[in-house]
Amino acid sequence: MILRKLLPLPGLSLVLLLIWLLLQNTAAPGHLLLGTILAIVIPRWCADFWPRQLAVRRVGVMVAFLATVLWDIVVANVSVARILLSPAPRLRPGFFELPVSVTNQVALVLLANTISLTPGTVAARLSADRSRLLVHCLDMDDEATLITQIKNRYERPLKEIFE
């Protein structure tokens, strides 16, 4: 109970301590102490307006998801570079609508961010009822394959992590 009062948002506290140490670029005892004080004080100030439902349910899936995204960024960067550098680029740009089934806000933001980060696609607009995401694609081969790919690679793990 005391621990809960001292650290109302343990995840945020940990992230703050990590960011402090990274900013200082050291793990010296003095900065560890200062970072710990900040990690205790700051969450107490903003605990009241911090969203409560933010919980990573499956850390393993999260790590695997991050690795997938990083790998996809590299692969897609290379393929976009190849398109741009070819003498006569053959582009089939266009919009398509991705049906979205995640409802958690954080998961939705992460899904849209992931789509924008992986080269070749940029998330453009979320429909008012949050069920469809308009995506612009640089070179659209087959809409259905792209949709299933995004759903399987990004949406499913995000759902497992946050819902």
Partner 1 sequence: MLSEILVSLFLLLGAAFALIGAIGLASLPDFFTRLHGPTKATTLGVGGMLVASIIHFTGQGRVTVHEVLIITFLFITAPVSAHLLIRAALHLGMRKSAYKATEGESGNGH
Judged by the rule CB under 8 A, the positions of this chain that interact with partner 1 are 19, 22-25, 73-74, 77, 80-81, 84-85, 89-95, 112-113, 115-117, 119-120, 122-125, 134, 136, 138
- How far is the C-alpha of 135 from the C-alpha of 116, rounded, in Å? 9
CA angle 16, 114, 82 (to 5 degrees): 125
Q: How far is the CB of 39 from partner 1 (least distance, A)?
A: 16
Kindly state the smallest distance separating residue 26's Cβ from partner 1, in Å: 9
In the complex, the smallest distance separating the C-beta of residue 2 from partner 1, rounded to whole angstroms, is: 32
Nearer to partner 1 (CB atom), residue 43 or residue 72:
72
CB of 148 to partner 1, least distance (A): 22
Taking the least distance from each CB to partner 1, the nearer of 19 and 46 is 19
Instruction: Tell me the C-alpha distance between 53 and 60, whole Å.
Output: 19
**Contact present, 137 and 97 (Cβ < 8 Å):** no
| Helix, strand, or coil (residue 125) | strand
- Distance, in Å, from the CA atom of 82 to the CA atom of 86, rounded to the nearest integer, reads 6
Is the CB of 9 or the CB of 133 nearer to partner 1? Answer: 133
> Residue 44 or residue 97: which is nearer to partner 1 going by CB?
97
**Alpha-carbon span 105 to 91, nearest angstrom:** 33
